[in-house]
Structure 1
Amino acid sequence: MKTKFSGMLTLLLAFVVQLTFAQEKTISGTVSDDSGLPLPGATVLVKGTSTGTSTDFDGKYAIKANQGATLVFSFVGYASKEIAVGSSNSINVSMAEDAAALDEVVITALGIKRNAKELSYSVSTLKNEDITKTKAVNVTTAMVGKVAGLQINTTNNGVNPSTRVVLRGGNRSLLGNNEALVVIDGFPSDRGVLDRINPNDIENVSVLKGANAAALYGSEATNGVVLVTTKTGKGKLKVTYNGSYQVENAAYLPEFQNEFGVGGFPDGTLFPLENVAWGPRFDGRLVDASETLDNGDVWQVPFTPIEDNHKDFFRQGSTVRHGITVSGGDDNGTFLMSLDQTNTEGIVPNDAYNRTNFRLKGSKKYNKLSVGGNLSFFRSHSNVVGAGGRQDRPLYWNIINTPLHLPMEQLKNWRTGEFTRNETSYFAFYENPYFIVDTQRLKSDINEFNVLAFADYEITDWLTASLNVGYTGSNTTTKREYGAFTYAFELENTYARMDEYGARTADAMLTSSRLNSDFMLKFNKDISEDFNVQLTTGQNTRIEDDNAIAVAGNDLIIPDFYNISTITGNILAGDFPDSGSGNQRTRNYRRMSVYGDFTLGFKDYLFLSATGRNDWSSTLPKDGNSFFYYGAGLSFAATDAFDITSDKGLSYLKASVNLTKTGNDPGLYRTQGTFFAPTGFPYGTTVGLSQSSTVPSPALNPEFTTSLEVGLETGFFKNRLTANITGYKTNSTDQIVNAGISYASGASTAVVNVGEIENLGIELDLNGVILKSDNFKWDVGLTWTAIKSEVISLADGVDELSLGGFDSAQVIAKVGEPYPQLRTTSYLKDDQGRIIVGDDGDPIQDPTNQIQGKTTPDYILGLNTNISYKNWNLYAVTDYRTGHVFYNAIVDAIEFTGLSQHSATAGRQPFVFPNSSYSDGNGGYVANDNRLTSGGGNAFWDSYGEIKENYVSDATTLKLREVLLSYTFDGDALKAMGVDDLSIGLFGRNLVTWRPASNVTTDPEFNFTTGNAVGVGDQNQTAPTRQFGMSVNLTF
């Protein structure tokens, strides 16, 4: 009986399985708009499941579904449509702009696709065309001005510029990391990947702005997430070529005084081989410009300032890019392969950067099992000028302090030139800039390999199991070359000479790896006619390791042969490729996590969501390494709940609120002591270990951020006008800092949890179609961000904390003040804000350094517009930042040498110091209109230079970031040649930069660090640049 029953059960099961497979079939068709034009990229989902696909370039799709299932079609700006699967295998869909235009599917945390109206937090999405129109080499700079709340600073210029990416002000942590987490196809990566990834590989970028949106990614996502999804093959096999060529030129340099030339000591004395300009007025006479040779020959030039002399040092840079992509796919499988080569020559002679990107991506569906992989390789080589020579002065400092009357073009031949070689150098105290670019080099090579794999198994039509695993391995090597400065012969008589120095070298290598895995169960089911439940639970494992080695040495035996084995003396500590210095460093990090994400939907217009995550981190004490954080939100789509829409009025209305608490674990080795091996300790070549000067905290707690966010999304006139506004408040507590302690303890600082920072902000995204006809369309988008940050508290008895900078110009956090603030040496002022002068007429320095203002903007405004007429398209992006200040290190540098405009005030004669007063002897002050300064030359301006308040400038900027004029070809001739798409374009980047009158020297975005000490300028930069180029895009 049992055997018969088992047999019957087996037959019944086989019948059910056969019936199930018989009902599943492939549905195909075309998705178009109401005028019949195809909609590429439209989303097609099987309702109530995670099964979905997208239309190809021609609007075609194919998807497997059971008869009786419902297909949901959605596209940005169009009403969603639901169509039941019947007996036909073909379903063609026409979509119209409607009140449901904002019901598009967006990518959220963990790569989960969600309908936008379900979300209780702010998400902005950029398409591929938004970041590739003007052919930016890296994705980071291409996102500027396009997302409210996103702030990107180029911290220095060059062939491979460094950038800083923060969301909502980036003011959450005092000393910790404030940059956004970057996730590539579900794999958390370091922020630098945005500078390395091929922009043409990107399908879209979702920006999850706050901790509310990112709680599922763990502690790294407290600062928000930039979520990158790469392209997937779609439709028929096609080949795409993207090529571009652009030139780059120095846009502007500091404005100099052009009245006085080299010399001084005393003021007004000509000294031909000086670089300081405290000498006589320019008068056109011939003056010596070199040492005198023993035969009496000397180089002479007119004593006249040369227009654009410093700018002539910079060459025209160029960037050439070639990219090719082969792709295709259907509902059962996809394939994509891409290769991109970028070659850049910088505006600084000899500077170059080469980059190669390769990607191979594919997927395959076997009934209920879907598998896929994504393999990418990145390789780069850069060769740029490095700091070196006497005093390690950077190149830019030497360029802008070259005397105005010396023709830069004639200084190139420093090796054999009769009057421009080292022996007869025009500089008595610093190197020829061309000597620096030829002999002081920093070479870097990066090789990075990434592999991602996923498997999804559809257990039922409402439950899916997923496994995502990713691995990154990278190797970075750097070589620093410091050329020797020597004299081949002596001269009988010289003005003055630098001391010779030998060649040096420094080598470093960093190997790192990161393994990340997520196992998830995804539940999505209509539990009744009115309610839908979506639940994702998962487990995450993160393993990170890196090892760095660095060595350096002096006085190489063989000149121009930069090998560490040829040094004279002991091997010294070097600089690691990422940060810090030493001989060797090893770091390991482990984290285990579990998480969950729940959404309850009611009648497709009201959604209640909740998230939770628990981390176990190796950076916390063993007995306290677990911390839990959570969030909850509510979203209400009013226009789906009530009949309140109108073609001539409201089209869409959604309100949302979200409250989240997230945790952030500390950096590595903050809970245990570390040791290092100092040079010469304990004595000579005997090796010993010394404990770090920072005392660890065995009871350290993670930092926590509590975030409240409210949002309102609206659409009008069939969504031709949309406005999204978001307000937020975040409070970050248990800040992890190094607090100063008594040196009697044997250390200088201790790791402690202290303080609280509060951030308030408003973000606005406004988009509108201004005009639209059959052949013409004008779109405008505006983003606006307002930010306010305040330090609520620090440690007991601590009123302020230094974040970095210099003794005379520091970025600080101060209780009760906006964060961060710039504090500098300052003038003593009366109660009316006038500068107090002494009996000698010179301003008096305040014994206490004073706060000059906030260093992050109060407001950021972005404006982009797109005008299309027939086959022509014009596109532009601008952004405006204001409400902040910065310390201008460039004007400080040229003040030192007497080249600044300030230094020529009053013809270098004594003058009444502007806006000054002096004591009346009775405790009051009177306006100064008769006390002259003690002088107007070198001595006075040297003292002036000690007051860094003089170099604090308004950091306001208005930039024309991008401009593109393109033309798209069409017609039967192209089709006959098998060409699907051909477009050409002319583009420009950073074409115009407006700055206030207080800043005539540099770009305030440039900063001496990518860390939190924002607002301190840097001399290790090149001139700000503008780019022009042309591009071609071809698909066949």
Structure 2
Amino acid sequence: MKKLSLLFFVLVLLGTVSAMAQTVTGRVVSEGDNEPLPGVAVLEKGTNHGAATDFDGNYTFNLQNSEGAVLVFSFMGYETQEVSVDGRSSIDVVLKSNNIAVDEVVVTALGIKRESKTLTYSSQEVSGEEMMKARDVNFMSGLSGKTAGLEIRKSSSGAGGSTRTVLRGSKSVNSVSDPLYVIDGIPMVNNKGDQAGMWGGTDEGDGLSQLNPDDIESISVLKGATASILYGSQGANGVIIITTKKGKEGKTTVSFNSSAIFESVIETPDLQFSYGADGGTAESWSYTKGNYESDYVDDFFETGYNLINTVSVSSGNEKMSTYFSYGNTGAGGVVPNNSYQKHNVTFKQSAKMLDDKLTLTSNVMLTSERSKNRPGAGYYLNPLTGLYLFPRSGATPLSDSSLGAQPFSYFKDNYQYFMTSRNMNWQEWHIKADNQSNPYWLINKQPKTDLTKRVIASLTLDYQITEKLKFQARGSYDYANKTFEQKFYAGGNTVNISENGRWNYKKFADKQLYSDGIFSYQNEFGDLSLSAVAGASYQESVYGDGVSVDNGTNDLLYPNEFYFQNVPDNVAIKSIYGGKIIKEGVFGSVQLGFKDMLFLDLSGRNDWSSTLAATGNESYFYPAAGLTGILSQMVTMPEFISFAKVRASASQVNNEVPWGLIQVNHSINASGSVDRNTVKPFTDAKPEQLVTWELGTDWRFFNGRLGLDFTYYHITSTNQALSKTLSGSKQDNYYTSMYFNAGEIVNKGVEIVLNSTPVKTSDFEWNSSLNFSKNNNKVVELYPGEPSKYIDLGSSEGYINRIYTGGSIGDMYGIQFRRNDAGQILLDEDGTPLKTASDSPVYLGNLEPDFSLGWNNSFDYKRFTLSFLINAKIGGKAFSQTESILDGYGVSQRTADARDKGYVAVNGITEESGTVMTQIDPQLYYSTVGGRNGIAEAYVYDRTNIRLTQLALSYDLDVKSLGLPLQAASFSVVGNNLFFLYKKAPFDPELSMSTDLGSQSLDNFNVPATRTYGFNLKFTF
């Protein structure tokens, strides 16, 4: 109590002293329209004492030193103005626009900051606040639709799942089109674990999901190789630069950011519950209607939740700044027993020394991440197959046939029974099938856990050698220890599982050591300006270093005991190793400017990569050049044109081959003998080569109220690492295949960014941004002289993601209806549709959209802000294996509608007799067209969809008027992926089975798409 009294006395005393100081009030408006400017920074020159204007442009300022006081007014987009107080108590200020929007400083390669108008390539920046408006746990989703040319796809694995991020199209058949991620100038590890596939499996997440999004200040997207050439081959597919928050000069502030977000399924497949099984089969092909249990599918899915909380502390003075944060994320998915937990600790400190010439910055980021029962996809061991396919009229339990047909609720309440002969619990279900199990057995008796412990530590030294010359040295260590474990209890489906159960365990580490040293020089010589960078870097990465064990169908020694000593002798406890890569590089960049209106960029880098060691090609050089001209400073423009520039750039970047292709990699099996590698070492490997050129222009109109950015790019990728089979005399030393360099893939397209402020008054402001992108991908050549050879990037039964020479990445092939020249479906004499041969799949379309749109809007009215984002993907195809199997089992609403009518309408003709048939029996039709190996053509859908991606309404509290002991406070209601404005596919075509290149727009019993909604509270002390 005494301490509280003392604190109160001190606060009153400080307030009294402050009241005795001179107070200055006034209003700040913009020149021309005389509109008030909220948020203008007001600083007493020579001190750290500052304030800001309110929503009406008004300010109140208590001077620390009345004598000779000067106030400094600064605001983005306007010229900074200094005003002498001279004893006045009221000072109104008019700020003049300086089009600073084009002069704003952006973060580029290696963390180098440059004015955006000088850039010779395309880049976009998104603030951390903008990215996290909808509070999505997978924070990269916050960039979707807000950056032209950036394609972001989520897997269906929920919280902590990985994302697929591609800039300007897929450029390689080796699935390495992901951009490089950089944190505060230092490359980070973003390895993806295993992914779900047709036969099951689980997405094991990625490195990005482990970061705390509340620590992010901004994200810069460098879209092409020209923009990121200083990062070397790692930046060949573009770079996403993450700048984290740091301590700010001034008094200590404590911020708390908390959100509670709820998640629900948008739609499940359109299922029927009117027709049951016929004669006790596992399929629902009865033609007699019944009144059957119908709510168990909806009841299976739960309301998920995401609880995201971050507390941060920021402080600093002229010499030192400190930032600390702790974040906690807890989530529960829509699939029962799925949970996710993440803890983040960040500590960042910066100190100036030696008369401010030396600055040391340290940053430590700690992460602990745990995921339980992350949902997968595919046929096997997926709870959704049994949930969707269960016979509508019920089924007889395997444990007791005398019970007769029981509804699904029986199997939910009794998902296991005690098997006396095995003295253990056994799965209760109605069928022994490879593609379905009791959903409740799977979620309770096949638990899986992912655990990651990660530390990213970095140290940066900046030394100002002279006013013009600076040296920077950086070092970082990124270490992630990962454990994956899945237990399969005995008594379940025996597909890939032994009678005594199965234990799949692996523990491994990813490590990366990075360091660089960079000299930078800036100077002006009359009308000329010079900016130069030169440096060197060293990077050492080790991936997947650990152990694994998986007994598969080999019996554990004792049932349901999951530890190393219980693994049978014929199962090896393997040492796993994903590879070690060392890369050294030297680099340099020069920018020459003329009269602040013409800028020439020249850059180059040389790398030495261990993945090409002993090939003679381990050293490779790549150059880049760019030119920018500020038209609005070269010639007199009409008054409505505020700024105009044109730019052009070109680069050649080399990308090393994947690890392990040039070495002989034998392994030791459980019996102690050698399993020989059958792939011939790639001893003459050359690096993959990407040649990029782009043209662009950037215009601002009406004093920055309207902006247009246009880019055309062309990317040619050659020297792909392709595999071919060795046969006959070409085989030696047991080698059956080899790699060679060939292939050419071209991506070309346009990106358009339109920014505007249609309305701006003293109380209301509307800001809008439209992002448009279109990419055309072409496989110019694969295997020279062999146009019929192809590469399969992924497949499902009846469907193949395949590329030929002349095709495109994303081409889909599969089984079609056989038709005559008139387009009629050919039928057997009994009406069975005929289909093309399974070994000769036919082109069905391309999975990539024709173009993408993102429309982002915010409306500010006094203290309220309403924002929404609409995303559109126009064109392209998507395929659903789920719908095919639902039809084959007779459980889709389509099959019920057909039975209601008594037929399926077709335009058919029998192949032999030429009899025209327009109606086919529903079971006959769907048993052929649907199912696991049906006619894929019938389940190819238009990928076009338009959705309300984000919606947020926030209110900034007037903490002063309310008398709250806070600096700021706000409350938001948020939503994400709320609903579709247009969609043809019966599923979300943007939700993929996995993030693998060959699994995009593929639905194979994926977890349904979800919407999220909730609230967010932020306040600062």
TM-score (norm 1): 0.83
Q: Given the alignment of the two structures, is residue 325 of structure 1 paired with residue 312 of structure 2, yes or no?
A: yes
Q: Is the 8 A contact 1:98 1:719 kept in 2?
A: no
Aligned partner of 1:659 among 637, 642, 650: 650
Task: Report the Cα offset of residue 641 of structure 1.
Answer: 2.7
Q: Partners of 2:1016 and 2:413 in 1: how far apart?
A: 37
> What residue number does 2:632 align with?
639
Where do 1:513-592 residues align within 5 Å?
Answer: 513-526=511-524, 528-546=525-543, 547-553=545-551, 554-556=554-556, 560-572=560-572, 583-585=575-577, 587-592=579-584
**In 2, Cα distance between the equivalents of 1:33 and 1:671?**
66
One-letter identity of the residue aligned with 1:1028: Y
CA distance in structure 2 between the aligned counterparts of 1:1032 and 1:774, rounded to whole angstroms = 26
- Letter paired with 1:148: A
For 1:397 and 1:439, locate their aligned partners in 2 and report how far apart those are by CA, in whole Å.
16
1:809-855 deviation per Cα after TM superposition (whole angstroms, max 9, x unaligned): 11122222233301112222334544333444333222321111111
Give 1:538 deviation, angstroms.
0.7
Farther-moved stretch of structure 1 (770-779 vs 111-120): 770-779
1:727 maps onto 2:742 in alignment = no
- 5+ residue gaps, structure 1: 1-29, 45-52, 62-70, 86-90, 263-267, 285-303, 488-496, 574-581, 680-684
Does the 8 Å contact 1:896/1:945 carry over to 2?
no
Instruction: Give, in whole Å, the separation in 1 of the partners of 2:810 and 2:899.
Output: 38
Change (3 A) 1:942 1:607: closer
Q: Deviations over 1:196-242 (max 9, x none)?
A: 21111111000001111111111111111110000111132100000
The answer as to whether partners of 2:884 and 2:932 remain within 8 angstroms in 1 is: no
State the shift of 1:1020 in Å.
5.9
Query: In structure 2, what is the Cα distance between the partners aligned to 1:1012 and 1:72?
Result: 54
Deviation of 1:703 (Å): 0.7
Shift in Å, 1:473: 0.9
Which of 945, 957, 960 lines up with 1:957 in the alignment?
945
Instruction: Please say if 1:150 is aligned against 2:142.
Output: no
**Structure 2 counterpart of 1:243, which letter?**
S
C-alpha distance in 2, partners of 1:410/1:747?
55
CA separation of 1:621 and 1:1020: change in aligned 2, threshold 3 A: farther
Give the partner amino acid of 2:241. Answer: L
Superposed CA offset, 1:379-404 (max 9, x none): 10111156799x83312222222334
Establish whether residue 444 from structure 1 lines up as the match of residue 456 from structure 2: no
Cα distance in structure 2, aligned partners of 1:1029 and 1:354: 19
State the partner residue of 1:244: 259
Aligned residue for 2:1006, secondary structure, equals: coil
In the alignment, is residue 1033 of structure 1 matched against residue 1018 of structure 2?
Answer: yes
Distance 1:55 1:403 in 2: 71
8 Å contact from structure 1 (residues 31, 39) kept in 2: no
Aligned residues, how many?
Answer: 924
Letter of the 2:531 partner, please give it. Answer: Q
More divergent stretch after superposition (316-325 vs 528-537) = 316-325
Which one of 346, 350, 362 corresponds to residue 373 of structure 1?
Answer: 362
In 2, the alpha carbon distance for the partners of 1:72 and 1:600 equals: 32
SS where residue 946 of structure 2 aligns?
Answer: strand
For residues 896 and 565 of structure 1, do their structure 2 counterparts lie closer, same or farther at Cα, with a shift above 3 Å needed?
farther
The Cα shift of 1:914 comes to 2.2
Secondary structure of the residue aligned to 2:632 is helix
Does 1:361 pair with 2:348?
yes
Contact 1:645/1:652 (<8 A) preserved: no
2: CA distance, partners of 1:500 / 1:414: 23
Once residues 690 and 516 of structure 1 are traced to their aligned partners in structure 2, the CA distance between those partners, rounded to angstroms, is 35
SS at match of 1:117: helix
Give 2:865's match in structure 1, choosing from 863, 873, 878.
873
Residue 457 (str. 1) matches residue 463 (str. 2)? yes
Q: 2:892, 2:767 → 1: CA distance?
A: 44
Distance in 2 (CA, whole Å) between partners of 1:74 and 1:1013 is 51
Question: Which of these residues, 293, 299, 302, is aligned with residue 315 of structure 1?
Answer: 302
Compare 751-760 and 811-820 and name the one that shifted more.
811-820
Greater alpha carbon shift after TM alignment, 936-945 vs 836-845: 936-945
Contact 1:637–1:654, Cα closer than 8 Å, also in 2 = yes
Q: CA deviation at 1:1028?
A: 1.2
1:233 match? 247
Once residues 584 and 313 of structure 1 are traced to their aligned partners in structure 2, the CA distance between those partners, rounded to angstroms, is 38
Shift of 1:145: 1.0
Return the alpha-carbon distance in structure 2 between the equivalents of residues 962 and 56 of structure 1: 33
For the residues of structure 1 that align with 2:916 and 2:492, how far apart are their CA atoms?
53
Name the structure 2 match of 1:265.
none
**Is 1:811–2:796 an aligned residue pair?**
no
Matched, 1:889 2:876: no
The answer to whether the 8 A contact 2:886-2:931 is kept is no
**Paired residue for 2:290, among 280, 283, 287?**
283
- Aligned counterparts of 1:767 and 1:450: Cα–Cα separation in 2: 36
> 1:320 Cα deviation (Å)?
1.3
Give the secondary-structure state (helix, strand or coil) at the position aligned to 1:216.
helix
Q: For residues 574-653 of structure 1, what are the structure 2 equivalents within 5 Å?
A: 583-585=575-577, 587-622=579-614, 623-646=616-639, 649-653=640-644
Q: Match of 1:618, as an amino acid?
A: S
Q: Report the CA distance between 1:739 and its aligned residue.
A: 2.5
1:1018 Cα deviation after fit:
4.5
Question: 1:800-839 maps to which residues of 2 (within 5 A)?
Answer: 800-806=790-796, 808-839=798-829
CA distance in 2 between partners of 1:388 and 1:95 (Å) = 58
CA separation in 2, counterparts of 1:562 and 1:753?
A: 45
SS of equivalent residue, structure 2 residue 386: helix
Paired residue secondary structure (1:533): strand
> How far does residue 75 in structure 1 lie from its aligned partner after superposition?
6.2
Aligned to 2:476, the other structure's residue is in SS state strand
8 A Cα contact 1:74 1:81, kept in partner: yes
**In angstroms, what is the RMSD of aligned CA positions?**
3.6
- 1:113 matched to which residue of 2? 113
TM superposition shift of 1:556: 4.1
Equivalent pair of 1:889/1:1016 in contact (CA under 8 Å)? no
SS in 1 for 2:236: helix
The within-5 A match list for 1:739-818 is 739-742=724-727, 745=731, 746-799=734-787, 800-806=790-796, 808-818=798-808
Matched, 1:675 2:666: yes
Following superposition, the deviation at residue 1008 of structure 1 comes to 3.5
Q: Distance in 1 between matches of 2:496 and 2:570?
A: 26
Q: Is the 8 A contact 1:908 1:935 kept in 2?
A: no
Q: CA deviation at 1:792?
A: 0.8
The amino acid of 1:181's aligned partner reads: L
- Report percent identity of matched pairs: 27
Check conservation: 2:285, 2:923, Cα contact below 8 A. no
Contact persistence 1:339–1:359 (CA under 8 A): yes
C-alpha separation in 1, matches of 2:79 and 2:910: 74
Counterpart-to-counterpart distance in 2, 1:247 and 1:1015: 26
1:243–1:323 Cα contact (<8 Å) kept: yes
Residue 433 of structure 1: aligned partner: 439
User: What is the identity, as a one-letter code, of the residue corresponding to 1:126?
Assistant: V
TM-score where L is the length of structure 2: 0.84
Post-superposition shift, 1:98?
4.4
Q: Distance in 1 between matches of 2:630 and 2:140?
A: 33
Deviation at 1:738, TM superposition (A): 1.9
| Cα contact 1:31–1:38 (8 A) shared by 2 | no
Distance in 2, Cα, partners of 1:500 & 1:743:
39
Distance change (3 Å), C-alpha of 1:422 and 1:552? closer
Q: Which residue of 2 aligns with 1:490?
A: none
Shift of 1:431: 3.0
**Conservation of the 8 A alpha-carbon contact between 2:904 and 2:919:** yes
**Aligned 8 A contact 1:145 1:863 in 2:** yes
Contact 2:597–2:633 (Cα < 8 Å) also in 1: yes
1:871–1:73 Cα change, 3 Å: closer
Tell me, yes or no, if the aligned pair for 2:976 and 2:1011 is still in contact at 8 Å.
yes
Instruction: Summarize deviations over 1:738-796 as a string: whole Å, max 9, x none.
Output: 23332772444311111111111111111111212111111111111111111111122
Measure, in 1, the Cα distance between the counterparts of 2:953 and 2:377.
Answer: 43
Q: Distance in 2 between matches of 1:232 and 1:105?
A: 17
Cα gap change, 1:82 to 1:797, in 2 (>3 Å): farther
